[in-house]
Amino acid sequence: MREESRQVYCYFWLFGLINNVLYVVILSAAVDIVGPTLPKSLVLLADILPSLTIKLCSPFFIDRIKYSYRIWSLILLSCLGMFLVSFKNLFVCLLGISFASLSSGFGEVTFLQLTHHYKQISLNGWSSGTGGAGILGGASYMILTSIFKVPVRLALLVFSILPFAFLFYFKLDANGTSSIYQSVRQLDEAEDEQLEPSTVTLTHTNASQSLYNSRQHIFQTFKRLRRLVLPYMLPLTTVYLFEYLINQAVSPTLLFPIDSKENKSMPFFFHKYRDMYVTYGTLYQLGVFISRSFGHLIRMRNLYILAFLQGSNLCITILQSWFYVVHSPWSVMILIFYEGFLGGASYVNTFLNILEQEKPEETEFAMGAVSIADSFGVFLAALLGLGLEPKLCKHQVSDNRPWCRME
């Protein structure tokens, strides 16, 4: 790997890490934020709806915003969001989650579009970094709260300083990558010229023409989006729907008795029932990290196969939650890791397919637009999870397994 390419990879790895780490930490803290009585999908809904909204709207306007302006907005939204998440008030906490979600969604669109200019090496770095966010976020939160017993609110506040690492974006052209970065800087300069006030007087005819052009832009954008649905967006949405139903609705009910003398296979770090949920999240993120880091080595061009496999995982975990088939957490932990591996493989292969199959003039748009799909799948999972988790938990209580009501 040439020095310039190595630097591009490292920068995009860092951007992927920082952009996703707060999202992961918030989901890992879901059980601590809402407690054992409220469904964890409430946190997931607050963590994904703003992100989905910004992704849905971005194809219509994001090309008019300079990349440098986007970076500053990411830092502001992320820091403010995590500061509010550290509050004890549930409403303020959910508001902070929404700010962090806006930053995550806007950041994903921004950096995926940037990979169009830096090619596959940047996408490999970005994908691996987003997977690394799962490891850093999930594991560090588990270590801080479960092992070192750091108060939850203080642990959340610590993560609010991480978004300042986005400032490394401005170092891209100062460390040997100027030849690649030039195209992005030229884009920003061109956008500045387009946004400068026109010296032409705005007449009725000009206003009508502007309205006509806006309508044409919206129509053409919908047309470009529609073409991306079947090959990329539908399978990615389906995979994320299944896996986040597992993560936020089913895994909080995949519990085992901690104080049972007969259950000697219980991991030593399971002191409370919330520790199981946090551990599942960490294992899931480990699977995501591995597949996002090395998924480009094993290409999967038929994305619907991954959707089928993830659907099978959902069925297995629901059956375990309902019937209590296995009585040891180890097999469940392995399945959760495998679930994360499939999810990461679906993500990286989707965007690699875009880079390989789309025309160069369409790649930047497609990279940003298809990111709608994963958020839409998570959003659907959050809505369904609001009903699924309480139903599973109610059944377990009636089956003399009240662990989902305990801390």
Supply the pTM of this predicted model.
Answer: 0.79
pLDDT band at 244 (very low <50, low <70, confident <90, very high): very high
Helix (H, G, I), strand (E, B) or coil at 114: helix
Q: Where are the domains of the chain?
A: 3-191+226-405
94-114 pLDDT tens trace = 999 999 999 999 999 999 999
Interval 144-168 mean pLDDT: 87
Query: How far is Cα 272 from Cα 259, in angstroms, rounded to an integer?
Result: 10
- Would you say 351 and 368 are in contact if contact means Cβ atoms under 8 Å apart? no
End-to-end CA distance of the chain: 49
Burial class (CB in 10 A: 0-12, 13-18, 19+), 83: middle
Cα torsion at 36, 288, 130, 351 (round to 10°)?
A: -130
Helix (H, G, I), strand (E, B) or coil at 58: helix
Query: How far is Cα 17 from Cα 31, in angstroms, rounded to an integer?
Result: 23
Least confident of 109-118, 186-195, 221-230, 386-395: 186-195
Q: How confident is the prediction for the chain on average, in pLDDT?
A: 85
Interval 329-350 mean pLDDT: 95
Fold observed for domain 3-191+226-405? Growth Hormone; Chain: A; (1.20.1250)
